[in-house]
Amino acid sequence: MDHIKKSDPIPEILSDCIQNRIIDLKSELIDLRRDFHMYPELGFQEFRTAQKIEVYLQALGFETHRIAGTGVVALLDSGKPGAVLMLRSDMDALPVTEVSEKDYKSKNEGVMHACGHDSHMAMLLVAARVLKENKASLTGQIKFVFQPDEEVAGAIRLVEEGVLENPRVDGVMGIHIWSLIPSGRVSISPGVVMGGLDVFKVRVTGKGGHTGYPHEAIDPVIAASSIIQTVQTIQTREMDAQKPTIIMFGKIQAGKKANIIPEEVYMEGTIRFLHTFDPDSSDNPTQKFIRICEGICQAHQCTCEIEIEHENIPLVNDEKMVRLAKQTAAQVFGSPDIIESGKYIASEDFSEFSSRVPGVFIFLGCANKEKETQFPLHNSRFNIDEDVLTKGVELHVKGALEFLKEK
Ligand SMILES: [Zn+2]
Ligand SMILES: [Zn+2]
């Protein structure tokens, strides 16, 4: 990673030239975003989306190839030796019905780009265009990666299919549009910036019966309700207070009628955490969760089946990559607008890349009350201040130039 340490600023002429070119492309950028917005597609069903990305990149002279079904990868080879940087955008939308009066409202009923992935794709496509135009100023190679199914941890499939190889990636950068931060600001922090996520499914089985004769049955409802209460003590009694952990039950199913003790209770939920740990250590909240579920079931004479899906590991930003991203952001935004907003406990599968190669994940503020873009991510009224998108493109382009600069 020596090339990161030796970073001098990009020559001013080139920097201004890039900025002006991106401003010239602003309407193309917004058109791309609105088009993706109108035709949102769920994870691994991004068929139209992938095709649009391919058409755009191929028109620029890129060779594209598919990965994980609907993922698209393109490589920009400067022809000069050097490092390999991966720039990543996610592609998928959410099962949310959009509430909007805008003419670019979702045309796919019940599906919406409520997490801003439409803007991520638009920014990365325009960045690919500008970087290709500036190929003569580059060294090494840039891999543009459009990834399906971020919302259900699709990144691991790209890793398994070799996205970090051929050529081997030396660093990875991603940007997420972020409505918790005002427009015109950007957050770049070292260390853990997004949480890990385990999803659990618990089935508590007792013995059904008449609610008038509970002594002849085994009530799984009382056991399940005890589980729901007791696992909340994991955060307050078993974890270090500096290691926030959230355990939530999103689905509980049991019973058919008021006077019947049901045979079983089925529950699903999430365990989120903001720290990294060895799975066998006492820092693992999911191990504690399993212990409490099994212990309570035993106490109530029920049986317990537990299924855990390790959906995302925490996203950790590499310190050198953070330094480089901050240098870049200082050119794009000016230093006072770079903040360290810290950690967000929501999870992001970019962690699958950044746990394997040094990475940085940047939060690009887009909240502006006058433009009604302050709604939370995943909300049916979520929208973006499109004026920040040129800044995102500039971060990609100048970040790549900084990263790839010759030793
Ligand atoms: Zn999301
Ligand atoms: Zn997202």
How confident is the model at residue 336, as a pLDDT?
A: 79
The whole-angstrom separation of Cα 64 and Cα 196 is 32
Cα 115 to middle of ligand 2, angstroms: 5
pLDDT tens digits for 193-234?
Answer: 999 999 999 999 999 999 999 999 999 999 999 999 999 999
Round the CA-based radius of gyration of the chain to a whole number and report it: 24
CA distance to 27, 206, 292, 306, per residue, from 266 (Å): 50, 12, 16, 10
Tell me which of 10 and 46 has the higher pLDDT: 46
Cα 395 to middle of ligand 1, angstroms: 21
Cα 150 to middle of ligand 2, angstroms: 7
Which ligand is nearest to the Cα of residue 377, counting in written order?
A: 1
Categorize the per-residue pLDDT at 4 as very low, low, confident or very high, splitting at 50, 70 and 90: very low
Question: Is the pLDDT at 339 greater than 90, yes or no?
Answer: no
- Find out whether 317 and 194 touch, Cβ atoms under 8 Å: no
- In this structure, the strands spanning 84-90 and 141-147 are parallel
Question: Is the pLDDT at 398 greater than 70, yes or no?
Answer: yes
Cα 187 to middle of ligand 1, angstroms: 18
Which ligand is nearest to the Cα of residue 363, counting in written order?
A: 2
The whole-angstrom separation of Cα 173 and Cα 176 is 10
Cα 176 to middle of ligand 2, angstroms: 7
How confident is the model at residue 8, as a pLDDT?
A: 64
Question: Is the pLDDT at 287 greater than 50, yes or no?
Answer: yes
Which ligand is nearest to the Cα of residue 350, counting in written order?
A: 2
Question: Is the pLDDT at 51 greater than 50, yes or no?
Answer: yes
Tell me which of 279 and 365 has the higher pLDDT: 365
Cα 148 to middle of ligand 2, angstroms: 11
The whole-angstrom separation of Cα 199 and Cα 309 is 5
Phi, psi for residue 62 in degrees, rounded to 5: -80, 145
How confident is the model at residue 334, as a pLDDT?
A: 85
Question: Is the pLDDT at 17 greater than 80, yes or no?
Answer: yes
How confident is the model at residue 11, as a pLDDT?
A: 83
Mean pLDDT of 324-350: 90
- Find out whether 165 and 315 touch, Cβ atoms under 8 Å: no
Question: Is the pLDDT at 139 greater than 70, yes or no?
Answer: yes
Cα 297 to middle of ligand 1, angstroms: 35
Mean pLDDT of 11-40: 95
- In this structure, the strands spanning 191-205 and 303-312 are antiparallel
- Find out whether 49 and 39 touch, Cβ atoms under 8 Å: yes
- Find out whether 49 and 36 touch, Cβ atoms under 8 Å: yes
Mean pLDDT of 279-303: 96
The whole-angstrom separation of Cα 165 and Cα 159 is 9
Cα 134 to middle of ligand 1, angstroms: 32
The angle that helices 285-299 and 220-230 make with each other, rounded to 10 degrees, is 150
Question: Is the pLDDT at 42 greater than 70, yes or no?
Answer: yes
Q: Is 266 helix (H, G, I), strand (E, B) or coil?
A: strand
Mean pLDDT check: name the lowest of 28-42, 78-92, 393-407. 393-407
A 10 A CB-CB count for 158 gives 23
The whole-angstrom separation of Cα 290 and Cα 286 is 6
Mean pLDDT of 119-147: 97
Mean pLDDT of 298-319: 97
Which ligand is nearest to the Cα of residue 315, counting in written order?
A: 2
Domains of the chain, with CATH numbers? 2-190+318-404 (3.40.630.10), 194-312 (3.30.70.360)
Of 266, 270, 242, the closest CA to residue 255 belongs to 266
Cα 8 to middle of ligand 2, angstroms: 32
Cα 257 to middle of ligand 2, angstroms: 41
How confident is the model at residue 7, as a pLDDT?
A: 53
Retrieve residue 370's tokens: 């006058």
Mention every residue, 6+ apart, whose C-beta is less than 8 A from residue 307. 200, 201, 202
Mean pLDDT of 258-272: 98
Residue 238 is classified by DSSP as: I
Cα 39 to middle of ligand 1, angstroms: 17
The residues whose Cβ lies within 5 A of ligand 1, an ion, are 115
Cα 371 to middle of ligand 1, angstroms: 21
pLDDT tens digits for 74-93?
Answer: 999 999 999 999 999 999 99
- Find out whether 350 and 173 touch, Cβ atoms under 8 Å: no
How confident is the model at residue 338, as a pLDDT?
A: 84
Cα 77 to middle of ligand 2, angstroms: 28
88: alpha, beta or left? (left if phi > 0; alpha if psi -120 to 50): beta
Which ligand is nearest to the Cα of residue 119, counting in written order?
A: 2
A 10 A CB-CB count for 184 gives 17
Cα 231 to middle of ligand 1, angstroms: 26
Mean pLDDT of 1-16: 67
CA distance to 42, 222, 391, per residue, from 307 (Å): 25, 21, 43
The angle that helices 26-38 and 12-24 make with each other, rounded to 10 degrees, is 50
Cα 116 to middle of ligand 1, angstroms: 8
Which ligand is nearest to the Cα of residue 120, counting in written order?
A: 2
CA distance to 12, 98, 105, 216, 296, per residue, from 102 (Å): 39, 10, 5, 61, 52
Mention every residue, 6+ apart, whose C-beta is less than 8 A from residue 237. none
The whole-angstrom separation of Cα 187 and Cα 22 is 21
Cα 149 to middle of ligand 1, angstroms: 10
- Find out whether 71 and 91 touch, Cβ atoms under 8 Å: yes
Question: Is the pLDDT at 26 greater than 60, yes or no?
Answer: yes
The whole-angstrom separation of Cα 204 and Cα 223 is 8
Cα 355 to middle of ligand 2, angstroms: 18
Cα 135 to middle of ligand 2, angstroms: 30
**pLDDT over 70 percentage in the chain:** 98
